[in-house]
Amino acid sequence: MTLEEGDTPLIPAPAISELTGCQVWLKYEGLNPTGSFKDRGMTVAVSQAVEEGAEAVLCASTGNTAASAAAYAARAGLRGAVIVPEGKIATGKLAQALMHGARVITLRGNFDQALAITRQVVDRNPIALVNSLNDFRIEGQKTAAFEVCDQLGEAPDVLSIPVGNAGNVTAYWKGFQEYGTAPVLHGYQAAGAAPLVEGKPVDNPETVASAIRIGNPARWENAMDAFTSSRGEVRAVSDDEILEAYRLLGRREGVFCEPASAASVAGLLKYGAEGVVVCVLTGHGLKDPTTAMGQAEPVVTCEPDLEQVERAVMGS
């Protein structure tokens, strides 16, 4: 089951390079078929579900996994169901899940509660779990590490990556190891949802970066092993720092990602790094128009009058 995921561009980032003194590249995972890195893993997980004769796939999600699972389930002719925290997922992601015909369940609770219930549902029914607890997801997602090395011609010195449920950092580390490389991993969590940084689960995680609003990551141990083994670190960035990086990417680099993705750049700007740094931009900015609009200058409305329009164009 494929939608031709992967092969995303690695884009040089001159403005961020100048600000940090590093050679910075952006791995733009928002250009996958459903607009996030999840597709790399979902192609494998859903193919496996088909092989095992599953009738349906299910996931808990902050939005992107739901969009991806819905698309690949549609492609495979399986039923798809997704459980998302009510009012806490970006509009575009919800639209995707609905357009692909998934059953969307909004839970009056957070992602961690959704995942706990999801695990119980799959234990009791012939349904495949396609969260990153599913090892086939990791196998697909590790290909991003291969690509980064191929595109650069060698491994980067540092990989900077947002961390939520911690599947992606687990997958990158597996991929780098299988490739015989070991870049330093810098993981970034939102300050209001930073269980790995605090060393304990967060009961009520809160952040503008809804994709990583997670208080008890399922891949906790794998992620901590990756940070330790790579001599890396997991650190926190505030919502303000995330939004500043989000705007900088849009305005200076011409690259539109979602807020959670900008955490990788926010962390680099805050804590610095050395050498060749790849920042993973996990999802496309179009997924979350509401947050984007809140960060932009107001729209200027005009009458169809030349002078009025001209004044608006020239900014006076």
Give contact residues for ligand F0G (rule: CB under 6 A): 36, 61-65, 132, 162-169, 211-212, 258, 260-261, 282-283
Could you tell me the smallest distance in angstroms from the CB atom of residue 167 to ligand F0G?
3
Could you tell me the smallest distance in angstroms from the CB atom of residue 35 to ligand F0G?
9
Closest by CA position to 231, among listed 176, 269, 194, 179: 176
Query: Which residue, 212 or 224, has its beta carbon nearer to ligand F0G?
Result: 212
Could you tell me the smallest distance in angstroms from the CB atom of residue 211 to ligand F0G?
3
Longest dimension (CA), the chain: 68
Query: Which residue, 36 or 48, has its beta carbon nearer to ligand F0G?
Result: 36
Alpha carbon distance 250, 210 (integer Å):
19
CB 197: neighbour CB atoms within 10 A?
19
Could you tell me the smallest distance in angstroms from the CB atom of residue 280 to ligand F0G?
8
Query: Which residue, 20 or 168, has its beta carbon nearer to ligand F0G?
Result: 168
Tell me the CB-side half-sphere exposure of residue 289, using CA atoms within 13 A.
Answer: 6
Query: Which residue, 38 or 75, has its beta carbon nearer to ligand F0G?
Result: 38
Query: Which residue, 184 or 223, has its beta carbon nearer to ligand F0G?
Result: 223
Query: Which residue, 23 or 130, has its beta carbon nearer to ligand F0G?
Result: 130
Burial class of 53 by CB neighbour count within 10 A (0 to 12, 13 to 18, 19+): exposed
Could you tell me the smallest distance in angstroms from the CB atom of residue 250 to ligand F0G?
15
Closest by CA position to 161, among listed 211, 88, 202: 211
Q: What's the sign of the alpha-carbon dihedral 173, 177, 178, 179?
A: positive
Say if CB 217 and CB 111 are below 8 A apart. no
Query: Which residue, 67 or 276, has its beta carbon nearer to ligand F0G?
Result: 67
Could you tell me the smallest distance in angstroms from the CB atom of residue 63 to ligand F0G?
5
Closest by CA position to 92, among listed 115, 74, 66, 60: 66
Alpha carbon distance 286, 292 (integer Å):
8
Q: Which amino acid is at 220?
A: W
Could you tell me the smallest distance in angstroms from the CB atom of residue 299 to ligand F0G?
26
